[in-house]
């Protein structure tokens, strides 16, 4: 395969953000006199973007639009303050990204995480290793809608036929499928392996080391 670009999801794929997300959500819930969430509960809510994440936590309370917007604004302020406290790249990720760069393969982030937070997190934790970073922007559709991706791809001259999409959720697998890319799902993130298998990614790996090995194999084809 003539691979020139690797498109990565962010949370649960490149950086483990679970602890900071759970803390921000739990502290906000507590502020509104609602039960805190565990790490395990937080993990099940991730993948669809910040608003979907909060809606999942609030359940039926999210139907009250005024309450939801107040809660969401409070949560976002808190998460922005927390997001680089414990979040860190997965073991082996820095080495993988450096290896890709040294071999002339461009790395990109395309995430459902809010755009400004995505850029800040990459700047803080993995500076200089991505050619471009795109997060979810207000009044646009998240993955797997391709509208914003197409603009991003045009900006950076990304050829889908020369690219692979890597992520930890059904949103990423479907995004790759919509774009006509091969997809690699990673089970070390926030979706369990049996569930990932039901979405039929082209490849499924359990560690960053396996991800690198799979990429090496594909690059040789």
DSSP line for 165-188: EEESSHHHHHHHHHHT-EEEEETT
**CATH assignment at residue 71:** 1.10.150
Cα(215)–Cα(80) distance, rounded to whole angstroms? 33
Whether 114 and 9 share a structural domain: yes
Whether 174 and 191 share a structural domain: yes
> How sure is the predictor about 18, in pLDDT bands with cuts at 50, 70 and 90?
very high
Whether 156 and 123 share a structural domain: yes
Single out the residue in 39, 54, 82 at which a domain terminates.
82
Task: Enter the tokens of residue 172.
Answer: 């990423």
Whether 40 and 135 share a structural domain: no
Cα(115)–Cα(50) distance, rounded to whole angstroms? 11
Whether 154 and 193 share a structural domain: yes
Name the DSSP class of 12.
T
User: Which residues are CB-contacts of 79 (< 8 A; sequence separation ≥ 6)?
Assistant: 20, 21, 24, 25, 50, 117
pLDDT exceeds 80 at position 1: no
> How sure is the predictor about 194, in pLDDT bands with cuts at 50, 70 and 90?
very high
Single out the residue in 53, 82, 111 at which a domain terminates.
82
What does the pLDDT look like over 95-153, one tens digit per residue? 999 999 999 999 999 999 999 999 999 999 999 999 999 999 999 999 999 999 999 99
Give me the number of domains the chain comprises: 2
Give the structural domain span for 152: 5-16+89-220
Cα(83)–Cα(57) distance, rounded to whole angstroms? 18
Cα(218)–Cα(171) distance, rounded to whole angstroms? 22
Averaged confidence pLDDT in the chain: 96
Question: Packing angle between helix 65-82 and helix 18-31, nearest 10 degrees?
Answer: 130
How high is the pLDDT of residue 221? 82
How high is the pLDDT of residue 99? 97
Task: Enter the tokens of residue 182.
Answer: 């091969």
Q: Nearest-CA neighbor of 61 among 40, 23, 32, 27?
A: 32
C-alpha distances out from residue 166 to 1, 11, 45, 115, 215, Å: 16, 11, 19, 18, 10
Task: Enter the tokens of residue 157.
Answer: 């001259």
């Amino acid at each position: 395969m003539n691979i020139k670009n690797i498109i990565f999801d962010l949370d649960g794929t490149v950086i483990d953000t679970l602890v900071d997300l759970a803390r921000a959500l739990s502290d906000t819930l507590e502020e509104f006199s609602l039960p805190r969430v565990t790490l395990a509960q937080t993990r099940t809510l991730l993948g669809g973007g910040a608003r979907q994440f909060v809606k999942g936590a609030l359940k039926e309370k999210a139907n009250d639009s005024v309450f939801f917007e107040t809660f969401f604004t409070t949560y976002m302020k808190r998460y922005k303050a927390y997001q680089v406290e414990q979040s860190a790249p997965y073991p082996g990720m820095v080495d993988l990204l450096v290896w890709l760069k040294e071999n002339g393969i461009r790395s990109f982030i395309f995430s459902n995480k809010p755009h400004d937070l995505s850029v800040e997190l990459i700047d803080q934790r993995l500076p200089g290793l991505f050619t471009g970073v795109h997060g979810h922007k207000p009044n646009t559709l998240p993955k797997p809608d391709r509208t914003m991706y197409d603009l991003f791809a045009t900006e950076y001259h990304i050829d889908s036929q020369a690219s692979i999409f890597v992520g930890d959720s059904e949103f990423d697998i479907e995004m790759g499928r919509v774009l006509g890319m091969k997809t690699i799902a990673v089970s070390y993130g926030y979706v369990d392996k049996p569930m990932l298998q039901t979405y039929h990614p082209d490849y499924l790996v359990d560690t960053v080391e396996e991800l690198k090995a799979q990429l090496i194999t594909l690059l040789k084809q």
